[in-house]
Amino acid sequence: MRRLAFAGLAAALSLAAAPAMAANLVVNGDFSGGATGFTTDYIAPPPQADGPGNYWITSSAQSLCSCFAQLGDHTTGTGNMLVLDGAANANSRIWEQTIAVSANTDYVLSFWLANLNSQFYGGPQPNISARIGGLEVLSTGLLPYAPGMVPSAQGVWAGFSTVINSGASTSLVLSFVDTANTHEYNDFAFDDVSLVAQEQNGVPEPGTWALMLAGFGLTGAALRRRRSVLALALH
Ligand SMILES: [Ca+2]
Ligand SMILES: [Ca+2]
């Protein structure tokens, strides 16, 4: 009896703690739709023609240049990602999207990056700045090299995340630039850009917690009542 009651309680709690699936407001953030949904100052060259400020949508970094580390996309390992040959101009936008948001709401911004250059060759490392309305909200610092030596070096994805508040805005311009400011080395991959309202990110609002705790207390009282009724019946 008690076990059944607790099973019901656990189910109720998991429902309360797992609201609707987190909605990613970024369109085509995983690049499954190819080169759509975003604007960029980089250019799409013919395949395997590397050059400053070029970009590709690909499922394999090394298929573009034998000088790149081996790397599949971050989403599934076999899907699309954005690969970039860093631009010499630090103001060149890697990726930009205008996103409708609710005012005065906290959003979790996250994205993934991988340096495609090997530590063996060294060279300038990408250093990515995430910006809202042109103002930096996160700097990745220098992206670590792929360990080992190409062609066997394996690229490593690094995740970055920060919380931003929309303030009075109902529309945000999210953009990324590479501040390394050189074409030499400075090659990287970008994937799984996400902007999710914080209360939809598995973190209940204080009000939700209060409801859950109230529910807990009520269930506990019901259990105690039932147990005392059973005890009386036994007597
Ligand atoms: Ca992807
Ligand atoms: Ca380069």
| pLDDT for position 89 | 87
Average pLDDT over residues 189-193: 98
What is the token pair recorded at 192?
């799984």
pLDDT higher at 131 or 208: 131
Ligand nearest to the CA of 80: 1
Q: What is the DSSP letter of 85?
A: E
Residue 212 has pLDDT above 50, yes or no: no
CATH homologous superfamily for the domain 21-203: Galactose-binding domain-like (2.60.120.260)
What is the token pair recorded at 103?
């005012």
Q: pLDDT per residue over 154-175, tens digit each?
A: 999 999 999 999 999 999 999 9
Helix (H, G, I), strand (E, B) or coil at 171: strand
pTM of the model: 0.76
| pLDDT for position 235 | 33
| Single-letter code of the amino acid located at 122 | G
CA of 163 to the centre of ligand 1 (A): 22
Residue with tokens 């914080």: 198
What are the residue boundaries of the structural domains of the chain, listed by start?
Answer: 1-19+204-235, 21-203
CA of 140 to the centre of ligand 2 (A): 18
Rg (CA), the chain: 24
Helices (H), the chain: 2-17, 206-234
Pairing, β 127-132 against β 135-142:
antiparallel
CA of 78 to the centre of ligand 1 (A): 8
| pLDDT for position 118 | 93
Ligand nearest to the CA of 65: 2
Residue 14 has pLDDT above 60, yes or no: no
Check: CB of residue 95 under 8 Å from CB of residue 40. Answer: yes
- Of 20-34, 135-149, 159-173, where does mean pLDDT reach its minimum? 20-34
CA of 38 to the centre of ligand 1 (A): 14
CA of 8 to the centre of ligand 1 (A): 38
Ligand nearest to the CA of 79: 1
Q: pLDDT per residue over 40-89, tens digit each?
A: 999 997 766 667 899 999 999 999 989 999 999 999 999 999 999 999 88
CA of 74 to the centre of ligand 1 (A): 5
Check: CB of residue 63 under 8 Å from CB of residue 132. Answer: no
Q: How many CB atoms lie within 10 A of CB 41?
A: 16
Ligand nearest to the CA of 84: 2
Check: CB of residue 188 under 8 Å from CB of residue 124. Answer: no
Residue with tokens 């630090």: 90
| Buried/exposed code over 130-158 (b: 16+ C-beta within 10 A; e: otherwise) | bbbeeeeebebeebebbeeebeebebebe
The chain-wide mean pLDDT, for the chain, equals 82
Strand order of the β-sheet with 54-58 is 54-58, 81-85, 187-197, 106-115, 158-165
Measured CA to CA, the distance from residue 229 to residue 232 in angstroms comes to 5
CA of 52 to the centre of ligand 2 (A): 6
CA of 124 to the centre of ligand 1 (A): 25
CA of 54 to the centre of ligand 2 (A): 9
CA of 95 to the centre of ligand 1 (A): 14
Residue 122 has pLDDT above 80, yes or no: no
Confidence of residue 29 (pLDDT cuts 50, 70, 90): very high
